[in-house]
A and B are shown apart, each in its own frame.
Chain A
Amino acid sequence: MSGPDGDAAGAETERRQPVRVVLAKLGLDGHDRGLKVVARMLRDAGLEVIYLGLRQTTESILLAVEQEDADVIGLSIHNGGHLTLAPRMVEAVRATGTDVPVVVGGIVPDVDLERLAEAGVFAVLGPGASAAEVARTVRAAAARRA
C-alpha cells in the first residue's frame, strides 16, 4: 500500500466524493458476521457500503456493481473456497470489460496469497486487519480504478 493516507478521522472531506463499495459473500458461506463488522468499519471511515450479504453469485454482484456504479467489490470468504471464488469474481469483472478491483477478506492461508495476487485480486485482508487498514485498502483500490 502506498499513498499518504492519513486516515485518522477517516471522514471524507466535503469536496471528495464518497467511495462506493459493494460487500458480498459469494456462494455457500454462512459466516457473515465479519462482513457486517467490515461494513460498519467502512461506514465509520466515511465510505458508502452497498451491502448484499449472503448467498450472492458473480452475476448478482456484477448487477449490483453496474446499477450502483460501485468503485470496489469486497468479498468475504470463510469457507476455504478463496482460490476458486476470488479468481472467478475477477474473471467475471474482466469479462464485462471493466476493472472494478476485488478485495478479499477472510481466512486465507499465507501460502495462497501469491496465487490470489496473480489471479488479479487487489488485496487480501485477514482477521488481524485494523479498521484503518481496511478503509485504507478499499480506498487504495478505488483510487486504482478511477
Chain B
Amino acid sequence: MTAGPAAGPTPERAAPHPDGEPPTAPGDVTALFERARGGDRRALGRLLTYTERGGPLADAVAVAAWPLAGAAHVVGMTGAPGVGKSTLTDRLAQVAADDGWRVAILAVDPSSPLTGGAILGDRVRMGSAATPGGPFVRSMASRGQSGGLALAALSAVRLLDAAGHDLIIVETVGIGQVEVDIARTADTTIVAVSPGWGDAVQANKAGLLEMADIFVVNKADRAGATDARRDLEYMLDLGHRAGWRPPVALTVATTGEGADELFKHVQDHRQHLRTSSAEAERRARHVAEEVRRHLHRWVDQLVEQPTRQTEALFAEVAQGDLAPSAAAQRLAGEVGQVPERDAPGADDEPEV
C-alpha cells in the first residue's frame, strides 16, 4: 500500500536546493566552509558529503581545510564487532566534552559488498549524539572503495579539525586493512577487546594489536576481564615500541565506569607525543602518507577509468607493439592530467 501526496497534484519538478543552488564551483564550497567554521552544522554536514563523494568538490574542500587543520587530536577507536566501541566512544566523548573539548565523532561502518547499501547504527549507542550540545557525529559507509575510504575518512577528519573540533574520534571495525589504514593515521589508537576474546597467543598473532597506543578491556564487569588484561600485559612484557608502553584500561561502557581513566590515558599519550623527540618525524610520516593516498587516487582513476588515449595504449600493448612496462611509464606522465570522471555538480542529479 502506497499512498500520499505523490499521488496528488504534486509538481514533478525538483524542489529548490536547501542551500540555494547546489555548489558547482570551488567558490561555493568556500561559502559553505565559512558557515561551517561559524558553527553551522548543516553546512558542515553538506561539506562532509562532498568529501565522501570524492571528485573536484572534495578536492576544493580539502584545499580549504588544510591550512586551518592540525590543531585537533585524532583518536582512532577500533576492535572487533560487538566489543562496545560505539558506547565507549560516546563515553569518551562525554568525558572530553565535560573537560572543555569540542568533540567530533566519525563512525565508519562497512557497506554491503553486494548492494552497496549500509546500515549505519552507531548513533543508537551514542546518547550524547542526540543532544544539541553533544558532539558532532557523522556516520560514514565504506562504499566499497578500499583506498578511497581511507582517503575520504582522512579528509573528513581534516575538515572536522578545520571546523574547530579539537578532539576527533574515528571509530572503525577492526577487521580489515582499510580500517587499519584509517587507525594508522590517528594520533592515538585505542584497541578495544572484551573478556574472553582470546589468550596471549591470540594477542601475539593479531596484527591489530601492534598498532595500539592504548588497550581497553570493555565489559569489565564480566568474568575474565582481569584475565584479558593480564594476557595483554604479558604480551607487552615481551616487547613494545620504545618510549611508550600501551596502558590497559578496564571499562564498563554501559555505565561509564573507567571512561575517566581512558581519557586520562589519551591525554597522557598526547603529552607523550608532544614531548617525544620523534614527533617531527611522526608528523612528516603522516603528511607523506596523506599525499601518497591522494596520489593513489589519481593513479586509480587513470587505471580504472580508461580514456580513449589509454585504451589506444592498451591496444598497442595487446598487439605486441609496446611493452606493458613502457605503456605504464607513458601513463605515469599523465597522472593528474586526466579530467575528473564526473562533471562538477553531477553528483547532485536526482536519484530516481
Residues of A near any B CB (own CB < 8 A): 1-5, 9-12, 15-19, 39-40, 42-53, 56-57, 59-60, 63-64, 66-69, 71, 96-100, 103, 110, 113, 116-118, 120-129, 133, 137, 139-140, 142-146
Please name all residues of chain A whose beta carbon is closer than 8 Å to the beta carbon of B130 when the two chains form the complex.
Answer: 52, 56-57, 60, 63-64
* CB under 8 Å from chain A, chain B span 125-142: 129-132, 136-139, 141
> What are 19 inter-chain pairs, A to B, with CB distance below 8 A?
A12-B115, A15-B342, A17-B53, A18-B118, A18-B143, A44-B117, A56-B130, A60-B130, A64-B130, A67-B41, A68-B138, A69-B45, A71-B351, A96-B42, A117-B4, A117-B8, A125-B1, A126-B1, A129-B1
B41-64 at interface with A (beta carbon < 8 Å):
41-42, 44-46, 48-49, 53
CB distance B123 to A50 under 8 Å? yes
Q: Which residue of A lies closest to B137 (CB)?
A: A67
Given contacts A49-B119, A146-B348, 17 further A-B contacts (CB under 8 A): A1-B6, A1-B7, A5-B352, A12-B117, A18-B116, A18-B118, A60-B130, A67-B45, A67-B138, A71-B351, A98-B42, A99-B16, A110-B3, A117-B8, A123-B2, A143-B350, A145-B15
B349 contacts the other chain (Cβ, under 8 Å)? yes
Q: Which of A51, A117, A126 contacts B124 (CB 8 A)?
A: A51
* A116-B45 contact given A17-B351, A48-B117, CB 8 Å threshold: no
Known interface pairs A44-B112, A144-B15; A69-B2 also in contact (CB < 8 Å): no
How many residue pairs at the A-B interface have CB separations less than 8 Å?
173
Residue of B18, B136, B348, B352 touching A67 (CB-CB under 8 A): B136
Q: Please, which residues of chain B bring their CB within 8 A of the CB of A146?
A: 14, 17, 22, 348-351
Q: Are B119 and A40 in contact (CB under 8 A)?
A: yes
The 4 closest A-B pairs by CB, nearest first: A123-B4, A126-B1, A43-B117, A143-B350
Residues of A within 8 A of B16 (CB): 99
Bound state CA distance, A122 and B143, in angstroms?
Answer: 28
Q: Is B100's CB within 8 Å of the partner chain A? A: no
A139–B138 CB distance below 8 A = no
Name the B residues within 8 Å of A123 (CB-CB): 2-6
Query: Is B238's beta carbon under 8 Å from chain A?
Result: no
Q: Which of B4, B16, B44, B141 neighbours the largest number of chain A CB atoms within 10 Å of its CB? A: B4
Residues of A within 8 A of B14 (CB): 143-146
The answer, yes or no, to whether B12 is at the interface (CB within 8 Å) is yes
Using Cβ atoms and an 8 Å threshold, which residues of chain A touch B46? 69
| Residue ID in chain A nearest B143 by CB atoms | A18
* Min CB gap B213→A, angstroms: 27
Q: What residues of chain B lie closer than 8 Å to A40, measured between beta carbons?
A: 119
Contact B115 A11 (CB under 8 A): yes
B352 near A139 (CB under 8 angstroms)?
Answer: yes
The answer to whether the Cβ of B114 comes within 8 Å of any Cβ in the partner chain is: yes
Cβ-defined partner of B5 (8 Å) among A39, A44, A57, A122:
A122
Q: Residues of A contacting B5 with CB < 8 Å?
A: 117-118, 120-123
Closest chain A residue to B135 by CB distance? Answer: A67
Give the residues in chain A near B139, CB-CB below 8 Å: 50, 68
Known A-B contacts A125-B2, A126-B1, A146-B350; A2 and B132 likewise in contact (beta carbons under 8 Å): no
> How far is B44's CA from A1's CA once the two chains are assembled, in angstroms?
32
Within 8 A of A (CB), among B309-352: 341-342, 346-352
Contact A43:B118 (CB < 8 A) given known A98-B18, A99-B15:
yes
Report B-chain residues with C-beta under 8 Å of the C-beta of A46.
112, 115-117
Contact status A45-B351, CB under 8 Å: no
Residues on B with C-beta less than 8 A from A144 are: 14-15, 350
Scoring B46, B130, B137 by chain A CB atoms within 10 A of each residue's CB, the highest score goes to B130
- Rounded to whole angstroms, the CA-CA distance of A110 and B2 in the bound complex is 10
Contact A124 B3 (CB under 8 A): yes
With both chains docked as a complex, state the minimum distance between the C-beta of A138 and any C-beta of chain B, in angstroms: 10
Alpha-carbon distance A50/B129, docked complex (angstroms)? 13
Asked, given contacts A2-B12, A64-B123, A68-B45, whether A142 binds B351 with beta carbons under 8 Å apart, the answer is yes
Q: Counting chain A CB atoms within 10 Å of each CB, which of B46, B115, B136 scores highest?
A: B115
A48 CA / B109 CA spacing, docked (Å):
10
- Chain A residues contacting B12 (CB-CB under 8 Å) are 2
**Is B121 an interface residue, CB under 8 A from the partner?**
yes
With contact pairs A1-B6, A18-B141, A52-B123 given, residues A127 and B1 touching in the complex (Cβ less than 8 Å):
yes
Complex Cα gap A110–B4 (Å):
10
Q: B118 contacts A48, CB within 8 Å?
A: yes
